[in-house]
Amino acid sequence: MRMLLKNSKRLIDNGELERCDVLIEEGKIIEIAPSITVDEHIERVIECDGKIVTPGFIDVHIHLREPGGEHKETILTGTRAAARGGFTTVCAMPNTNPVPDHEETINHLLDKINQDAVIRVMPYASLTKGLKGEELVDLEQLGKLQIFAFTDDGVGIQTADTMYRAMQLASKSGKAVVAHCEDNSIVYSGVVHDGEVSKRLNLPGIPSLSESVQIARDVLLAEATGCHYHVCHVSTKESVRVIRDAKAAGIHVTAEVTPHHLILNEESIISENTDFKMNPPLRSIEDQEALVEGLLDGTIDFIATDHAPHSEAEKSEGMLKAPFGIVGLETAFPLLYTNLVKNGTITLKQLVDWLTIKPANVFNLPFGRLEENAVADLTLIDIEQETTIDKYTFKSKGRNTPFHNWNVVGRPILTIYEGKVVYEEENYCPIVN
């Protein structure tokens, strides 16, 4: 099938926009030009009316919950949410039941993804059996399967020996070790950042040190093993400093940051609202500023949502008992565009790069590119339309967001995955034929 995006605009290297048409055939971009003539061989024409076309977004850190947590999210609902958010590639974390820690469970998961996903899903395998942080999985064997990388996300690897051996094996397999960094010995059962908000609400706090000390340990292990070590959801200024120093030393370390840690800080928590409970927690204003600076200077490589859906019943249990996490796939672009691009903190080109080409380059993925002969994963964005975030319209099963009723500008209106429209905002992007 031949499809033509007519009268769109694309970002060029200097950040300017140029008008272009994009011709797609058999899941590939076959031509990009200022104007492409419509002929009888083009079966579908989409009039873009000057909207911006970008590569499909990539999110290397989401939770789809299936198998075992289908009341929170499924592969189908999670990927529909991703498509609505402009994402065409997502990487699913392994905190499911059963855990993808051996060949049988991984192959079963891959079969379910092939059956239900509306976009590309690349699953992680766990680093340790059952995510218990003790016995390593067979990294050599699992590294040969269609997995993205290894991680025990949600649980920090507590002993240096376990992480050291994992990195040695992962390095041989060519897969990255992706780490949720948290030293449990100094978490102290905290539920928010150990700072102003924990004192004001009289809640146990999570010290920044619990994250940064484990990163400091791990970058030295990565140096010793030559492993690609990737840090999940960086949240503290000390972590940024450690990663910056490690990169300067030539260690193969990369890092991500979430939209909520860029946009919110501990002062955003006014009351015991569990939609503000996430791990790592919202930190201080100084931490928030360091994260933005880290993105701008390249210490932090890109943005990932850590989309973590939970049921309303689970989130209603109060700050001490409710699970950590918020959803993020459907709100990422409009929130970042409104709060960081519109105020001049970052450019639109930087934002798009952090959602596309940057994660693709870090993990050597053949996606995230708007160029001829590339896979036709595309997102069409309206950067002018104002809207209000309404959690009750989410495609995700999760409603746990602190951004409900926020007014935003800009949102994806059309998502194409491998040449097929997988999301289209109703009555907004008319199909000419």
Query: Which alpha helices (H) appear in 226-256, and where do they start and end?
Result: 237-248
CA distance 233 to 245: 18
CA distance 96 to 399: 20
CA distance 415 to 413: 7
Give strand pairing partners of 58.
89
Distance between terminal CA atoms of the chain? 13
Given the residues 101, 306, 377, 382, the one annotated as active site: 306
Residue 27, Ramachandran bin (φ over 0: left; ψ between -120 and 50: alpha; else beta): left
CA distance 171 to 390: 43
CA distance 100 to 46: 40
Side-chain half-sphere CA neighbours of 363 within 13 A: 28
Q: Dump the DSSP string for 120-183.
A: EEEE-B-SBGGG-SSSBP-HHHHTTSS---EE-TTS----HHHHHHHHHHHHHHTPPEEE----
Q: Per 3-state DSSP, what percentage of the chain is helix, strand, and coil (rounded to 5)?
A: 30, 25, 45
- Catalytic status, residue 13: no
Bond preceding residue 98 cis, omega within 30 of 0: yes
CA dihedral 152, 395, 351, 21 (to 10 degrees): 130
Any idea which residues carry the catalytic annotation? 306
